[in-house]
Structure 1
């Protein structure tokens, strides 16, 4: 049984676009590479053909994985979420109690995580420690660098 993954509309659309691309353009490119390698002669000693067939297998595996992810994907209705507690899709402003640094993160599905844009996976240690907390709560979270203490300053959507 696959795990259910929760997505924003943006994340779900990205996933669908990627799957569509892989099924259309991606397959055309792989087929062209196989045909080109096949035209070069004896298939038993053709490394290009072997590489193209291997790439095709990996490509189809990725399509299957994305299909499974989409099959178990659920869209989160943000209008029904409780704003008083940190949940998936919450935008959270936290302060490192030790050094006073503030950070803002959005808790998203694993597939949508992107540190450059401040989106962290709900399965990450920080997100796991924040889930269910409210503004003003202080939490100790074990991260790879050791134990850190944070204070929740703000929760929004």
Structure 2
């Protein structure tokens, strides 16, 4: 969690520098060229400024959300954020290991799935022996929870 917060802080710092230092300099340079109505540099810098402002808002909102995560509220006996789960996928007839992470850390190829993904949402709150039904673009999948280790390091 701290790694994610640090990465977000670095992104915020870089975007704030661009917004307060680089873009004003670009806009000032473009204004000096004259007629703004057909000044591509000016319009490009203004568009980038709007994008950076919007992205900063998103990142700051995400930082606020992460700051509110209380690890004590994450269950010790059910699937929750940070859990590593071994499931049996009856559709594929194989065992798969997933770890539930934030959307910033998600990487399906490494088995890191977001708690907001369809599979992540379906598994939340499940216990060993439970079956989660996931609707995917390729159809329904039945995932039976075989093993579970929570973020607390507790094997259920």
Which bin holds the TM-score, normalised by the shorter protein? 0.7 to 0.9
- Give the Å deviation of 1:128: 1.5
Alignment RMSD: 2.3
Q: Secondary structure at the match of 1:150?
A: strand
The structure with higher relative contact order (CA 8 Å, sep 6+) is 1
Find the residue that maps to 2:126 and give its secondary structure.
coil
In the alignment, the residues of structure 2 paired with residue 70 and residue 29 of structure 1 have an alpha-carbon distance, to the nearest angstrom, of 24
Superposition TM-score, scaled by structure 2 size: 0.79
Q: Judging changes above 3 Å, is the alpha-carbon distance between structure 1 residues 50 and 133 closer, same or farther for their aligned structure 2 residues?
A: same
- Structure 2's unaligned 5+ residue stretches are 152-156
What is the number of equivalent residue pairs in this alignment?
149
Flag the 1:98–1:54 CA change in 2: closer, same or farther, 3 A: closer
TM-score by length of 1: 0.79
| In structure 1, C-alpha distance between the alignment counterparts of 2:35 and 2:29, rounded to whole Å | 12
List gaps (5 residues or longer) in structure 1.
1-7
Q: Is the 8 A contact 1:95 1:152 kept in 2?
A: yes
Of 110-119 and 143-152, deviating more is 110-119
